[in-house]
């Protein structure tokens, strides 16, 4: 048995916040994966901290695809209902920004969503398959609230319709609220709520006509709570039971906990199988947050001379579950390493041979690297180890440049550093050239060196260089 046969293809394992364990990923349907990722609240620019979260989700999606799964990814755009406090108090963030900037709420949302998707593209993040705006799904949200009313999970106060968390026995299972000391009682003031953890499914407008965005429902004017948006839209596009739900760790104790409570109460069954959360990007030890100004956006980093993909590289150097402290020095170092990587790719590309027969020994070596890459990336997306492997390959004296190039481009399907774009022209070997090369290989094997030399000259005259490698040949343009 050779080495390759002895090593198993590593299965994809993901850390599930729900169980606090790394689990082998098993989709509900054999090869199809449904995934919902909480999207931006578009009242301001998404800062580099937010973008770290979307980069983590991109690595997850690319890894699922690399493992052969068909992925359907849904991302929402929160353009109404997210209040300045997660505890159903304060102003609607979009309305507040519209007032401040003297604009229409929908223009605010459209502008910041546009900037966000520009940054998504700059970071080479694969666009979601479904992008859904909250304001386009108000009937679905009303329908979900109605279902909860009928099932007896709600009560009405002066300012809205609330979910009674004492009626959902598993409330807090995601955040393990009591275990982790996240006592519900310290979250919010009670006001008219029956329990401190109860939350608004639907809010009534304080004075109808004052808000730009309000809808008539439940006999009054009002607007959806932030949590109901994600439950309604995810179930619309992915069904009542789907595979993965993601977001930042700040969403575990309130937003995602409430999403689970209302979704599972409405359907009476388990909602999502795997919950994945990314840790924060911090600055001098504190979370980068919009309310504190957000530090930098991707465009701002560009203005001071950094490539967005150097920021992507920086994020890959830390595991998504660890905090990553941002500094311009570290970004500078990542830009330098990314430049070195690009130079290596350009150098390897020059030697890249599309028609190549590798020796068995090298085939085994490249296969080993492929398995090693899967081992690290399938081990809960270990991007720091994946990058270390990239540099091991670059330094490996036993691999040809061509083999290195091929491996790195392949792994870039997951890393997303856009390495293939450095390839100026793809080398396509015409069939007549391939025929001559094969004929020459045959003559060499038959030890007919005279004929083999003649065919080499012929290839040269046609503009092709042929190099002999163990058991085969490599073709490149002269
Ligand atoms: P928001 O637009 O505030 O709803 O945030 C969008 C996403 O960014 C959410 O999934 C947050 O959990 C995440 N997020 C916010 N701040 C940070 C940060 N400093 N580092 C990493 N992720 C963050
Ligand atoms: Zn959400």
What is the chain's length?
478
DSSP string, 360-404: HHHHHHHHHHHHHHHHHHTBT--HHHHHHHHHHHHH-TTS-HHHH
**Half-sphere exposure of 155 toward its Cβ, with a 13 Å CA cutoff?**
10
198 and 167 within one domain = yes
Kindly report which listed range (170-174, 296-300, 403-407) carries the lowest average pLDDT score.
170-174
61 and 131 within one domain = yes
444 and 414 within one domain = no
Percent of the chain with pLDDT over 90: 71
pLDDT for the residue 177: 62
Tell how far the Cα of 299 is from the centroid of ligand 1, in angstroms: 18
Examine the pLDDT at 81 and tell me if it is beyond 90.
no
Q: Rounded CA gap, 226 and 300, in Å?
A: 29
Domain stops at, among 278, 311, 342: 278
Best residue for ligand 1 mutational test, from 97, 109, 248, 276 (most atoms within 8 Å of Cβ): 248
189 and 107 within one domain = yes
Asked whether residue 461 is domain-assigned, the answer is yes
345-374 per-residue burial string, b: 16 or more CB within 10 A, e: under 16: beebbeebbebbebeeebeebbeebeebbb
Q: Smallest Cα–Cα separation from 238: which of 130, 143, 142? A: 130
Asked whether residue 302 is domain-assigned, the answer is no
264 and 136 within one domain = yes
380 and 445 within one domain = no
Ligand with smallest separation from the Cα of 86 = 1
Residue pair 298/311 in contact (Cβ under 8 Å)? The answer is yes
Residue pair 154/145 in contact (Cβ under 8 Å)? The answer is yes
pLDDT for the residue 186: 46
Q: What is the mean pLDDT of residues 101-108?
A: 90
For 253-272, the pLDDT digits (tens) are 999 999 999 999 999 999 99
Residue 239: partners with Cβ closer than 8 Å, 6 or more residues away: 34
The band of 167, judged by pLDDT with boundaries at 50, 70 and 90, is: very high
Asked whether residue 311 is domain-assigned, the answer is no
299-332 per-residue burial string, b: 16 or more CB within 10 A, e: under 16: eebbeeebbbbbbbbbbbebbbeeebebeeeebe
376 and 449 within one domain = no
For residue 273, how many other CB atoms are within 10 A of its CB?
A: 18
Tell how far the Cα of 348 is from the centroid of ligand 1, in angstroms: 38
Best residue for ligand 1 mutational test, from 46, 51, 53 (most atoms within 8 Å of Cβ): 53
Kindly report which listed range (53-57, 311-315, 439-443) carries the lowest average pLDDT score.
439-443
Number of domains in the chain: 3
Kindly report which listed range (109-123, 165-179, 445-459) carries the lowest average pLDDT score.
165-179
Q: Smallest Cα–Cα separation from 424: which of 355, 356, 357, 477? A: 477
Q: What is the mean pLDDT of residues 308-316?
A: 98
Q: Rounded CA gap, 157 and 456, in Å?
A: 87
pLDDT for the residue 427: 58
Token output for 299? 């465009």
For 338-373, the pLDDT digits (tens) are 999 999 999 998 887 766 667 777 788 999 999 999
Q: Rounded CA gap, 64 and 111, in Å?
A: 31
Q: Smallest Cα–Cα separation from 404: which of 346, 361, 360? A: 346
| Phi–psi pair at 227, nearest 5 degrees | -70, -35
Question: In this structure, are strands 242-248 and 272-278 parallel, antiparallel, or unpaired?
Answer: parallel
H-helix or E-strand spanning residue 18 = none
For 397-417, the pLDDT digits (tens) are 999 999 999 999 999 999 999
- Put residue 120 in one of left, alpha, beta given phi > 0 → left and psi -120 to 50 → alpha: alpha
Asked whether residue 195 is domain-assigned, the answer is yes
127: DSSP letter: P
Q: What is the mean pLDDT of residues 121-131?
A: 98
pLDDT for the residue 277: 98
pLDDT for the residue 80: 83
Looking up residue 92, the CATH number of its domain turns out to be: 3.40.50.620
Q: What is the mean pLDDT of residues 273-293?
A: 91
Ligand with smallest separation from the Cα of 245 = 2
436 and 413 within one domain = no
Residue pair 100/107 in contact (Cβ under 8 Å)? The answer is no
Q: Rounded CA gap, 247 and 239, in Å?
A: 19
The band of 179, judged by pLDDT with boundaries at 50, 70 and 90, is: very low
Q: Rounded CA gap, 307 and 413, in Å?
A: 19
For 21-42, the pLDDT digits (tens) are 999 999 999 999 999 999 999 9
Q: Report whether residue 50 contacts ligand 1, using a CB cutoff of 6 Å.
A: yes
Best residue for ligand 1 mutational test, from 51, 226, 250 (most atoms within 8 Å of Cβ): 250
Asked whether residue 51 is domain-assigned, the answer is yes
Q: What is the mean pLDDT of residues 149-173?
A: 93
The helix/strand/coil state of 472 is strand
**Residue scoring higher pLDDT (6 or 396):** 396
For 214-249, the pLDDT digits (tens) are 999 999 999 999 999 999 999 999 999 999 999 999
pLDDT for the residue 426: 47
Q: How far is CA 109 from CA 126, 202, 282, in A?
A: 21, 20, 26
The band of 58, judged by pLDDT with boundaries at 50, 70 and 90, is: very high
Residue pair 270/241 in contact (Cβ under 8 Å)? The answer is yes
449 and 365 within one domain = no
Q: Considering the chain, what is the average pLDDT of its residues? A: 90
265 and 376 within one domain = no
Asked whether residue 366 is domain-assigned, the answer is yes
Looking up residue 348, the CATH number of its domain turns out to be: 1.20.120.1910
Domain stops at, among 211, 244, 278: 278
The helix/strand/coil state of 91 is strand
pLDDT for the residue 244: 98
Which residue has the least CA distance to atom 6 on ligand 1?
40
The band of 192, judged by pLDDT with boundaries at 50, 70 and 90, is: confident
For 417-464, the pLDDT digits (tens) are 999 886 544 456 777 888 999 999 999 989 999 999 999 999 998 888
Rounded to two decimals, what is the model's pTM? 0.85
Q: What is the mean pLDDT of residues 113-136?
A: 97
Dihedral, CA of residue 301, residue 340, residue 53 and residue 27, to nearest 10 = 150
pLDDT for the residue 181: 44
Asked whether residue 307 is domain-assigned, the answer is no
Task: Compute CA 457 distance to the chain's CA centroid, rounded to the nearest angstrom.
Answer: 51
456 and 400 within one domain = no
Domain stops at, among 394, 421, 448: 421
Q: Rounded CA gap, 345 and 297, in Å?
A: 28
471 and 385 within one domain = no
The domain in which residue 473 lies consists of 431-477
Asked whether residue 304 is domain-assigned, the answer is no
The band of 394, judged by pLDDT with boundaries at 50, 70 and 90, is: very high
Q: What is the mean pLDDT of residues 151-161?
A: 95
Q: Report whether residue 287 contacts ligand 1, using a CB cutoff of 6 Å.
A: yes
């Amino acid at each position: 048995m050779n080495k390759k046969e002895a090593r198993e293809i590593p299965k994809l394992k993901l850390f599930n916040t729900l169980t606090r364990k790394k689990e082998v990923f098993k989709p509900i349907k054999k090869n199809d994966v449904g995934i919902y990722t909480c999207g931006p609240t578009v009242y301001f620019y998404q800062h580099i901290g937010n973008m770290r979260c979307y980069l983590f989700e991109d690595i997850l999606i690319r890894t699922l695809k690399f493992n052969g799964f068909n992925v359907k990814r849904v991302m929402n755009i929160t353009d109404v209902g997210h209040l300045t406090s997660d505890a159903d108090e304060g102003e609607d963030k979009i309305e507040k920004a519209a007032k401040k900037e003297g604009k229409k709420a929908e223009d605010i949302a459209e502008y910041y969503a546009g900037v966000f998707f520009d940054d998504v593209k700059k970071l080479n993040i694969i666009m979601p398959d479904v992008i859904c705006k909250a304001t386009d799904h108000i009937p679905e949200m009303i329908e979900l609230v109605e279902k909860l009313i009928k099932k007896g999970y709600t009560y009405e106060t002066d300012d809205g319709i609330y979910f009674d968390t004492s009626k959902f026995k598993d409330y807090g299972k995601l955040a393990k609220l009591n275990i982790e000391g996240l006592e519900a009682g310290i979250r919010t003031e009670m006001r008219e709520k029956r329990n401190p953890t109860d939350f608004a499914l639907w809010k009534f407008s304080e004075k109808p006509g004052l808000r730009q965005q309000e809808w008539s429902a439940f006999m009054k004017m009002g607007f959806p709570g932030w949590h109901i948006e994600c439950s309604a839209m995810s179930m619309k596009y992915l069904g009542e039971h789907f595979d993965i739900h993601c977001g930042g760790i700040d969403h575990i104790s309130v937003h995602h906990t409430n999403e689970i409570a209302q979704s599972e109460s409405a359907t009476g069954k388990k909602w999502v199988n795997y919950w994945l959360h990314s840790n924060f990007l911090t600055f001098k030890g504190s979370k980068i947050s919009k309310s504190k100004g957000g530090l930098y956006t991707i465009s701002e980093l560009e203005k001071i001379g950094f490539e967005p993909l150097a920021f992507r590289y920086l994020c890959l150097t830390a595991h998504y579950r660890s905090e990553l402290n941002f500094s311009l020095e570290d970004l500078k170092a990542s830009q330098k390493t990314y430049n070195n990587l690009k130079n290596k790719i350009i150098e390897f590309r020059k030697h890249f041979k599309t028609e190549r027969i590798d020796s068995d020994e090298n085939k085994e070596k490249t296969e080993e690297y492929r398995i090693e890459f899967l081992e690290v990336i399938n081990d809960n997306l270990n991007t720091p180890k994946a990058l270390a492997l990239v540099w091991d390959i670059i330094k490996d004296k036993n691999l040809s440049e061509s083999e290195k190039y091929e491996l790195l481009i392949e792994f870039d399907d997951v890393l997303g550093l856009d390495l293939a774009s450095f390839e100026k022209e793809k080398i396509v070997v015409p069939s007549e050239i391939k025929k001559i090369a094969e004929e020459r290989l045959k003559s060499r094997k038959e030890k007919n060196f005279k004929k083999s030399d003649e065919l080499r000259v012929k290839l040269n005259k046609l503009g092709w260089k042929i190099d002999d490698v163990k058991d085969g040949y490599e073709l490149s343009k002269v």
